[in-house]
Amino acid sequence: MSNGLRQGLTSYGDTEFSLFLRKAFIKGMGYSDDALDRPIVGITDTYSDFNPCHGNVPQLIEAVKRGVMLAGAMPMVFPTISIHESFAFPTSMFLRNLMAMDTEEMIRALPVDSVVLIGGCDKTIPAQIMGAASADKPAIVLPTGPMLVGHFKGEQLGACTDCRRLWGEFRGERMSGEDIDVANGRLVPSVGTCGVMGTASTISCMTEALGLSLPGSASVPAVHADRIRMAEATGKRAAEMAKGAGPKPSEILTEAAFRNAIVTLQAIGGSTNGVVHLSAIAGRTKNPIALETYDEVGRDTPVLVDLKPTGQHYMEHFHQAGGVPRLMQELKDLLALDAKHVAGGTLGDAIRNFEDVAGQTVIRPRNAPLKSEGGLVVLRGNLAPRGAVLKQGAAAAKLMQHEGRAVVFDSVADMTARIDDPALDVTADDILVMRNAGPIGAPGMPEAGYIPIPKKLAQQGVKDMVRISDARMSGTAFGTIVLHISPESAVGGPLALVRTGDRIRLDVKARRIDVLIDDAEMKKRQTEWQPPPVPEVAQRGYAKLYLEHVQQADEGCDFDFLAHPSGKP
C-alpha cells in the first residue's frame, strides 16, 4: 500500500487518517475512487507567460495526459518555476539551482510513482534532471522542441546565432535601423527553443544520449504534430514506469551514459554550457565527471552535425535528416550501446529504428566530418589552474595559437561602459580580458563571455578576436572565446591578477592559456589582491544561499550541499 496516493503521506501521527484526509481533499476536485487507485504519473508544468520557449507546454500536457490514461494510470500536473533566458535577472544561471531544488522537493513531496519532466529553455532541463537525479523516482524528459526557422530578405534565420550576427552587422553600421527592426520580428517565428545548436538543443540531444528521453525527442519542432505524438508516447511510457517502478535515474545515469552524452556533445558541436550542466547533473550521482574527460572524448570524436553556430543548418533540418538516432548510427563505435534506456531496453535498442534520409547533408558520415576533432576543448595554464573551456568548432582557425597584449575589463559593467569608447586603446591583435563574471563574481555567471568586438574595430571589419573570461557564453554564439576560467577572479583566481599590457598566450593545440608573467610577480600581485565586496543583494535570501554555496564552473556550479555525497571528480 505504498504506491499511488498512499505514498509519502503527510505526517499527522495517524497514517490511516492522513490517507482519509488526502482523499477527502482530492475528491473535492471530482476524482473517483477508480482514478485515485491508479498509479500516479506527475507532470511538471513549466508554462509561463514569460517563457515563449515553453509556449506549447499546455498542449504537450494534454497529450501526455492522454498517453498516461491510455496506459491505465492517473496523470497529475503540478507547477514548478520556469526560467527563460531573456526573462531572468540577473541571469537564468543564477536561478537554475533554485529550479533544481523546487523540482527535486516537489517530486519527493508529492505522491507520484513516476514523473514527466517537460522543459526546454536552456537551464530548465538541466535543473529538472538534477532534481530528478537526487529525488530518484522514475523520470522521463519531454523537451518542448525547437522553434521553426525564420526568414528575412531571402535568408534563413534562427535565434539566437542570427540575433547576434545581425546585431553585429547593425553595430558595425552595415545594417540599417529599419532592417534590424524588421529582423527583430522574424528571428523567433514560433514558440519553442532556439533553432540552432545552442544550449537548449545541446541539452535535449545530450538528454537523448543519456537515455532519459524517447528517441527523436530532441529535434521534433515544437509546433509539429510529431511533437504532440511524442508527448503522448512519453505519457504512455511514464505510465508503464509508474506501474513497473522504473527505471530510476540512478539506474540510467551511469558512467557509460555520461560518456555517451559527452560523445554526443562533441559530435553535435554543442554549447560550452553543456559542460557546466552535464557536470552538475553528474555531480548529483555517484559518477561525477572530471573536466579532462570532455577533452579526452573530444580528441576521438568528430563534429558530424552541420548546424549553426558551428555550421550552416538549423534544428528543423537536423530533425528532417533523422536527428539524434541517425547521428548515433554514425557514432556507434564510440558509444556504449548497452547503456540502460528509459524506453525500456538499451540505447542500442532505442536507436535501431532510425530514419535514413537519402541525400541529406546535415548529419555527415564519419568519412567526411565537419571537423575531425570534437567541438569543445579544455584548457589549463597559469591563468586557469582548474580549467577553462573553448569551443574550437566556432572559433577562427588563425587565432588557435595567438599571443597578444591584454586589455582588461574589471567587470561586465566596466566592459559595457568602455568597449565602444573611441579612446579605448585596443587593436585587433590584443586579447580582451573580462573578470568578476563567474559564478560568484557577477553573480550568476552570465552569458557575457561573448565580449563584443570594440565598435571601432567592428567598423574596420574585424569579426573575431581572442576573448577570455570567467563568464559563460550563449550556445548560439561564436568566436575565439575562452570561458569558464576556474577558479574565477572573485575568489582570487589568477584572472584577478592580470593587468592591461600583460602578454597572454593561447595555444589550443597544447591546451594552454597562460599569462606571461613570472611566478614572483604573480605572488606579489596575489598578496596585493582584495576580494570584491559582497553585493548588498546578497545579505539575505536566495542570493545569500547562492553566494555561500555555489561551486566553481569545473564542478558545474551546483550548490555544494546538493552534490552527491560520494565525492568529487
For residue 185, the tally of other CB atoms under 10 A from its CB is 10
Q: How far is the CB of 390 from ligand FES (least distance, A)?
A: 21
Q: How far is the CB of 167 from ligand FES (least distance, A)?
A: 15
Q: How far is the CB of 204 from ligand FES (least distance, A)?
A: 10
Among 224, 183, 223, 217, residue whose Cα is nearest residue 200? 217
Binding mask 321-340 for ligand FES (x = CB under 6 A): --------------------
Which of 200, 517 has the CB closer to ligand FES?
Answer: 200
Which of 85, 558 has the CB closer to ligand FES?
Answer: 85
Q: How far is the CB of 165 from ligand FES (least distance, A)?
A: 15
Q: How far is the CB of 194 from ligand FES (least distance, A)?
A: 3
Which of 202, 411 has the CB closer to ligand FES?
Answer: 202
Report if residue 121 touches ligand FES, rule: CB under 6 A. Answer: yes
Q: Rule CB under 6 A: which of 504-563 touch ligand FES? A: none
Q: Rule CB under 6 A: which of 258-317 touch ligand FES? A: none
Helices (H), 110-145: 124-135
Q: How far is the CB of 192 from ligand FES (least distance, A)?
A: 8
User: Residue 1 is which amino acid?
Assistant: M
Helix (H, G, I), strand (E, B) or coil at 364: coil
Please state, in angstroms and rounded to a whole number, the distance separating the CA atoms of residues 442 and 413: 10
User: Residue 440 is which amino acid?
Assistant: I
Give residue for cell 557536470.
279
Which of 84, 341 has the CB closer to ligand FES?
Answer: 84
Which of 83, 426 has the CB closer to ligand FES?
Answer: 83
Q: Rule CB under 6 A: which of 199-218 touch ligand FES? A: 200
Among 122, 208, 554, 555, binds ligand FES (CB under 6 A): 122
Binding mask 163-202 for ligand FES (x = CB under 6 A): ------------------------------xx---x-x--
- What letter would DSSP give residue 452? P
Lateral strand order in the sheet of 40-45:
74-79, 40-45, 114-119, 139-143
Which of 144, 279 has the CB closer to ligand FES?
Answer: 144
Which of 311, 475 has the CB closer to ligand FES?
Answer: 475
Give residue for cell 515553453.
54
Which of 218, 347 has the CB closer to ligand FES?
Answer: 218
* Angle (nearest 5°) at CA 198 between 179 and 342: 145
The site for ligand FES, by CB under 6 A, has a size of 9
- Do 498 and 383 meet the contact criterion of CB atoms below 8 Å apart? yes
Q: How far is the CB of 149 from ligand FES (least distance, A)?
A: 14
Q: How far is the CB of 508 from ligand FES (least distance, A)?
A: 27
Which of 85, 555 has the CB closer to ligand FES?
Answer: 85
Which of 92, 489 has the CB closer to ligand FES?
Answer: 92
Q: How far is the CB of 85 from ligand FES (least distance, A)?
A: 4
Among 42, 85, 135, 493, binds ligand FES (CB under 6 A): 85
Which of 122, 232 has the CB closer to ligand FES?
Answer: 122
Please state, in angstroms and rounded to a whole number, the distance separating the CA atoms of residues 225 and 317: 16
- Element spanning 119, H or E: strand 114-119
Please state, in angstroms and rounded to a whole number, the distance separating the CA atoms of residues 235 and 229: 10
Q: How far is the CB of 255 from ligand FES (least distance, A)?
A: 29
- For strand 155-157 and strand 150-152, is the pairing parallel, antiparallel, or unpaired? antiparallel
In angstroms, what CA-CA distances link 477 with 64, 250, 451, 483?
34, 33, 10, 12
Bridge partner list, 434: 409, 469
Instruction: For 360-385, give one letter per residue: b (16+ CB within 10 A) or e.
Output: bebbbeeeebbbebbbbbbbbbbbbe
Instruction: For 332-356, give one letter per residue: b (16+ CB within 10 A) or e.
Output: eebbbbebbbbbeebbeebbeebee
Cell numbers at 442, concatenated: 557577477
- Do 476 and 161 meet the contact criterion of CB atoms below 8 Å apart? yes
Bridge partner list, 378: 389
Q: How far is the CB of 325 from ligand FES (least distance, A)?
A: 22
Which of 161, 436 has the CB closer to ligand FES?
Answer: 161
Which of 138, 198 has the CB closer to ligand FES?
Answer: 198
Q: How far is the CB of 53 from ligand FES (least distance, A)?
A: 3
Measured N-to-C along each axis, helices 199-210 and 273-283 cross at an angle, to the nearest 10 degrees, of: 40
Among 506, 500, 501, 503, residue whose Cα is nearest residue 518? 503
Half-sphere exposure of 79 (CA within 13 A, CB side): 6
Cell numbers at 564, concatenated: 552527491
Q: How far is the CB of 553 from ligand FES (least distance, A)?
A: 20
- Do 142 and 234 meet the contact criterion of CB atoms below 8 Å apart? yes
Which residues contact ligand FES (rule: CB under 6 A)? 53, 84-85, 121-122, 193-194, 198, 200
